[in-house]
Amino acid sequence: MNAPHDPIAAALSEDVGAGDLTAQFFTDPNQRSGARIFCKADAVLAGVETAREVFHRIDPALALRVVRHDGDALSPGDTVLEIEGSTASIVTAERTALNFIQRLSGVATLTRRYVKAVEGTGARILDTRKTTPGLRLLEKAAVAAGGGTNHRIGLYDMVMVKDNHLAARGDIEALRASITRFKAAHPAVRVELEADTLEQLRAFLGLNHVDVILLDNMDNTALRTCVELAAGRVQIEASGGVNLDTVRGIAETGVNFISVGALTHSAGAVDFSLEIHHA
């Protein structure tokens, strides 16, 4: 297994590289400034600590004050981070910090819209593994800031047996044996199975050690039937065909979870700017 990925180091490497040529030749190395990062839209904040860390990595001598915190609702003009110190350092870190905060706030803002859409139903909004490579932990933290619930982080912390696994593995008895063998080795790890039909659901309900059944691309009538069949024996997750127009109806079928890949693969950026003034 490779060493843990450092997304801030990777982002600064690709942007700053061997050094900020513009800052080196077109700013006074002795000049000090104050600056603020502020939001330019209605949004939910995420990534402010990541942005703060970007400035710290560029120049540990910068004075940084977090004004608003992840999960906060923002209005246009709201300041989220204040910076004071070397002007050259501030402008060198500016774009990378903004890139993180605008991307992560976009995820949090979209997540909050889905969470509000299902309010009162008892269903929880889940993220997926459809994340930006290298940014998974940050994007999942942004989902949480928006009020969503994190699904598995990766392939290592939960079993999710999907259609391709089932096609490769064979019949229900082979699946039963695999689950038994897995739970003997990893008793605390959750097991989820994907069902595409009512017949599959019925078969899966006869298995031990199954925590969640994922219902993929079923209409609301089928979802209700599946919830009734499960009768609380396992948790039920719905996926497929989920958007802001359909999510409320899906939630009202009684499912426990609704997974939404769009939270991370289709979230737009929120507009933030850095405004600088001389100290």
Question: Which residues are known to be catalytic?
Answer: 95, 130, 162, 194, 216
Please report, as a single letter, which amino acid is at residue 52. Answer: R
**In b/e form, how buried is each residue of 200-235, taking b as 16+ CB within 10 angstroms?**
bbebbbebeebebbbbbebebebbeebbeebeeebb
Measure the CA–CA gap between 276 and 216, rounded to whole angstroms: 50
Question: Angle, to 10 degrees, between the axis of helix 220-230 and the axis of helix 198-205?
Answer: 10
Measure the CA–CA gap between 275 and 37, rounded to whole angstroms: 6
* Six-digit token string for 116: 């509000």
Measure the CA–CA gap between 99 and 56, rounded to whole angstroms: 16
Name 212's bridge partners: 192, 235
Strands 159-161 vs 272-278: parallel, antiparallel or unpaired: unpaired
The DSSP annotation for 161-202 comes to E-HHHHHHH-SHHHHHHHHHHHHHH-TTS-EEEEESSHHHHH
Measure the CA–CA gap between 215 and 225, rounded to whole angstroms: 11
